[in-house]
């Protein structure tokens, strides 16, 4: 599998996202704990060395499953988390954007994963809509960056990532420090983050798209239901999801996928997209 730098690690371009391991709505315990642990162990068996997680997945559930399944961690495993969010008692997604909340989030990720250092931590800019980008609050963003830089300088995190950001966020951050990765919504049907992706390509920064299959797995999903995607899947003997993921990989060499699943079979299908060669006619048809 091809690799790309992520902080001090070189990771395979297909990683694993832990968001689907907790219960429904990314809240509470998994429906099948043994299955969740089996998925994580299969991740390592498949040679995946990039796991994306967050303390607020569960909360704590995804991290604790990762720790139970994989600790002590392989030396080449890049554990990447994020801060900037929290959950209330009903599971609602809330912001946790103040500097002291970011620091507490970093420390809680370290505690629940039982590690003294994370490969990278993404500063998630909370907008209330996971696919939207909030305007820059310059005073707050500067204070947020100060916390992230301090954590990196202390050795708690290897690299600083950004999530849910626009070009202005990225430019301000790059004026102050190195950025290891950017996580934004991006897929065949929603390419609003293209300017950010292009900037990451130019600077050699890893771009980690979330919602690569769209935001819902319904029959009218604009990604999985795209006629060209379905036709290419039939031609290749693959699933529409595999074709959509392979397309996302094809967009640029710095794209790192982190598809999530709670199924070993789906994990294996997702990992196989690294070897899919899409047809020129399909690529031309989707632009």
Give per-residue pLDDT as tens, 33-55. Answer: 999 999 999 999 999 999 999 99
- Please check whether residue 226 lies inside any domain of the structure: no
- Please check whether residue 161 lies inside any domain of the structure: yes
The residue to which tokens 């997702």 are assigned: 270
- Please check whether residue 286 lies inside any domain of the structure: no
Do residues 257 and 248 make contact, with C-beta atoms less than 8 angstroms apart? Answer: yes
- Please check whether residue 32 lies inside any domain of the structure: yes
The residue to which tokens 């795209």 are assigned: 226
Please give the pLDDT value at position 219. 54
- Please check whether residue 170 lies inside any domain of the structure: yes
Q: 256: closest CA among 188, 189, 180?
A: 180
Whether the upstream peptide bond of residue 269 has omega within 30° of 0, thus cis, is no
- Please check whether residue 283 lies inside any domain of the structure: no
Q: 212: closest CA among 179, 260, 165?
A: 260
Do residues 254 and 207 make contact, with C-beta atoms less than 8 angstroms apart? Answer: yes
User: Positive or negative, the Cα torsion across 237, 35, 12, 104?
Assistant: positive
Q: What is the pLDDT of residues 63-120, one digit of tens each?
A: 999 999 999 999 999 999 999 999 999 999 999 999 999 999 999 999 999 999 999 9
Q: What is the mean pLDDT of residues 159-164?
A: 98
**How many percent of the chain have pLDDT more than 70?**
98
Residue 151 lies in domain: 3-216+254-263
- Please check whether residue 225 lies inside any domain of the structure: no
Residue 99's CATH number: 3.20.20.100
Q: How far apart are CA 31 and CA 24, in angstroms?
A: 8
Q: How many domains does the chain have?
A: 1
- Please check whether residue 121 lies inside any domain of the structure: yes
Phi and psi for 23 in degrees, rounded to 5? Answer: -70, -175
Looking at the annotation, which residues are catalytic?
57
Q: Does 217 score more than 50 pLDDT?
A: no
């Amino acid at each position: 599998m091809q690799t790309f730098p992520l902080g001090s690690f070189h990771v395979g371009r297909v990683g694993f996202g832990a968001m689907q391991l907790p219960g429904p709505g990314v809240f509470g315990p998994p429906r099948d704990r043994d299955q969740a642990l089996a998925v994580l162990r299969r991740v390592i068996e498949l040679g995946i060395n990039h796991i994306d997680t967050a303390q607020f997945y569960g909360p704590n559930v995804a991290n604790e499953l990762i720790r139970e399944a994989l600790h002590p961690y392989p030396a080449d495993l890049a554990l990447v988390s994020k801060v900037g969010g929290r959950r209330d008692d009903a599971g609602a997604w809330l912001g946790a954007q103040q500097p002291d909340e970011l620091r507490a989030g970093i420390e809680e990720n370290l505690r629940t994963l039982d590690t003294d250092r994370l490969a990278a931590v993404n500063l998630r800019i909370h907008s209330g809509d996971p696919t939207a980008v909030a305007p820059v609050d310059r005073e707050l963003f500067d204070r947020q960056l100060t916390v992230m830089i301090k954590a990196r300088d202390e050795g708690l995190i290897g690299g600083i990532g950004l999530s849910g950001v626009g070009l202005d966020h990225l430019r301000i951050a790059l004026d102050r420090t190195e950025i290891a990765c950017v996580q934004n919504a991006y897929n065949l049907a929603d390419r609003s983050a293209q300017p950010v992706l292009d900037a990451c390509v130019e600077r050699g920064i890893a771009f980690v798209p979330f919602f690569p299959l769209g935001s819902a797995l319904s029959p009218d999903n604009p990604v999985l239901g795209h006629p060209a995607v379905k036709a290419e899947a039939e031609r290749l003997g693959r699933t529409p999801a595999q074709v959509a993921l392979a397309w996302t990989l094809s967009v640029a060499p710095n794209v790192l996928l982190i598809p999530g699943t709670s199924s070993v079979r789906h994990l294996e299908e997702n990992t196989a997209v690294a070897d899919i060669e899409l047809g020129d006619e399909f690529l031309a048809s989707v632009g």
